[in-house]
């Protein structure tokens, strides 16, 4: 499930918006990205409203969740769909603007991750549009760790909020949305939840290293001990140069085998990271990979996350003999 390394540019710069003035009032939706298919639960029962909620998600990991919760009563378009696209520095198109201008529901991550999405929403106001900003939902401001889709706890909070918002927008179909949510959490996410529980029960306390902060929320919920300095993780996430001191610290952790496994984001593979991966393998330290967006692009949220968790589990098993 690896992808070609995509070097990341500086995170703090504002993304340039490629918009046209007419986009704000456009009435037709241009599919700027593929809609994510719904796979959770069934679609029994007729629609009370007879209309689909038009949804736009800045990134496909939240779009996949929204699509599965909405089923046949929501049409979800995700803007970021390619594993080769850096969500931090994405440049929206006129088609993206038209999609946003006609959406009744918009989902953005926030926390400094997709500032371009906020600009897109403000440029294309919708009087009846409901907006979910994960930043506000989880109470983490810019400067905090933006990778909330790697926090199982926050994922479930997003599921709750999306369902509640769907019910407010389409009260006639409230029972349908409740059924979708129940099926998604109890059946569709069952393998994901089981892996989280199994890894924590078996490997909690195991010291690990990582290439950037994307792994931090997940490692905390798995009970793994992150040894990589936070400053190094954050610098890599922001596209900044890590300090020589922090770089030396993780290099020594690898050479002395203080970490049991090394986890790296293949979508942010800088020369420093590539060197660390190479050294970890040379030292016999198992390497597991993660990505920022759905990989492959057509995967569902649960398929993607479950595959990555299995990779981490295999690395931990190899490293510890458990």
Q: Which tens digit of pLDDT belongs to each residue from 169-187?
A: 999 999 999 999 999 999 9
17 vs 190 pLDDT, higher one: 190
pLDDT score, position 125: 84
3-state SS string for the chain: CCCCCCCCCCCCCCCCCCCCHHHHHCCCCCCCCCCCCCCCCCCCCCCCCCCCEEEEEEEHHHHHHHHHHHHHHEEEEEEECCCCCCHHHCCCCHHHHHHHHHCCEEEECCCCCCHHHHHHHHHCCCCCCEEEEHHHHHCCCECECCCHHHCHHHHHHHHHHHHHHHHHHCHHHHHHHHHHHHHHHHHHCHHHHHHHHHHHHHHCCCEEEECCHHHHHHHHHHCCEECCCHHHHHHHHHCCCCCHHHHHHHHHHHHCCCCCEEEEECCCCCHHHHHHHHHHHHCCCCEEEECCCCCCCCCCHHHHHHHHHHHHHHHHHHHHCC
51 vs 196 pLDDT, higher one: 196
Q: Would you say residue 22 has pLDDT above 50?
A: no
pLDDT score, position 164: 98
Average pLDDT over residues 227-248: 91
pLDDT score, position 121: 94
pLDDT score, position 43: 57
pLDDT score, position 11: 42
Average pLDDT over residues 215-236: 96
Residue in this structure with the two tokens 């989902």, named with its chain if needed: 107
Q: Would you say residue 8 has pLDDT above 70?
A: no
pLDDT score, position 187: 98
**In this predicted structure, which of 44-48, 197-201, 285-289 has the lowest mean pLDDT?**
44-48
Average pLDDT over residues 34-62: 69
pLDDT score, position 40: 55
Q: Would you say residue 153 has pLDDT above 90?
A: yes
Average pLDDT over residues 79-95: 90
**CA atoms within 13 Å, Cβ hemisphere of 249:** 16
pLDDT score, position 115: 93
Share of the chain above pLDDT 70, in %: 84
The model's pTM: 0.86
Q: Would you say residue 39 has pLDDT above 70?
A: no
Q: Which of the four pLDDT bands, split at 50, 70 and 90, describes residue 48?
A: low
pLDDT score, position 26: 33
The torsion angle over the Cα atoms of residues 80, 176, 191 and 64, rounded to 10 degrees, is 0
Q: Which of the four pLDDT bands, split at 50, 70 and 90, describes residue 24?
A: very low
């Amino acid at each position: 499930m690896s992808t070609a390394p995509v070097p990341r540019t500086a995170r703090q710069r504002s993304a340039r918006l490629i918009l046209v003035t007419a986009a704000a009032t456009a009435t037709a939706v241009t599919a700027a990205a593929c809609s994510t298919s719904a796979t959770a639960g069934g679609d029994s029962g007729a629609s009370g409203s007879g209309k689909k909620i038009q949804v736009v998600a800045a990134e496909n990991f939240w779009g996949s969740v929204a699509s599965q919760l909405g089923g046949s009563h929501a049409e979800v378009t995700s803007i970021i769909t390619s594993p080769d696209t850096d969500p931090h520095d994405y440049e929206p198109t006129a088609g993206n603007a038209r999609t946003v201008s006609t959406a009744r529901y918009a989902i953005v991550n926030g926390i400094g991750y997709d500032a371009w999405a906020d600009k897109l929403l403000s440029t294309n106001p919708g009087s009846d549009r409901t907006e979910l900003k994960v930043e506000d939902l989880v109470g983490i401001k810019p400067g905090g760790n933006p990778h909330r889709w790697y926090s199982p706890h926050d994922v479930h909070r997003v599921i709750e909020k999306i369902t509640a918002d769907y019910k407010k927008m389409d009260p006639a179909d409230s029972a349908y949305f409740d059924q979708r949510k129940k099926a998604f959490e109890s059946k569709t996410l069952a393998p994901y939840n089981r892996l989280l529980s199994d890894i924590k029960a078996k490997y909690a306390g195991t010291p690990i290293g990582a290439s950037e902060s994307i792994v931090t929320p997940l490692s905390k919920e798995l009970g793994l001990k992150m040894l990589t300095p936070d400053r190094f993780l954050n610098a890599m996430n922001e596209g900044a140069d890590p300090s020589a001191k922090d770089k030396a610290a993780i290099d020594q952790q690898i050479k002395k085998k203080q970490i049991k496994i090394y986890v790296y984001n293949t979508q942010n593979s800088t020369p420093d990271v590539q060197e660390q991966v190479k050294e970890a393998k040379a030292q016999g330290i198992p390497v597991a990979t993660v990505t920022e967006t759905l990989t492959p692009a057509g995967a569902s949220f649960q398929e993607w996350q479950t595959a990555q968790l299995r990779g981490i589990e295999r690395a931990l098993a190899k490293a510890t003999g458990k």
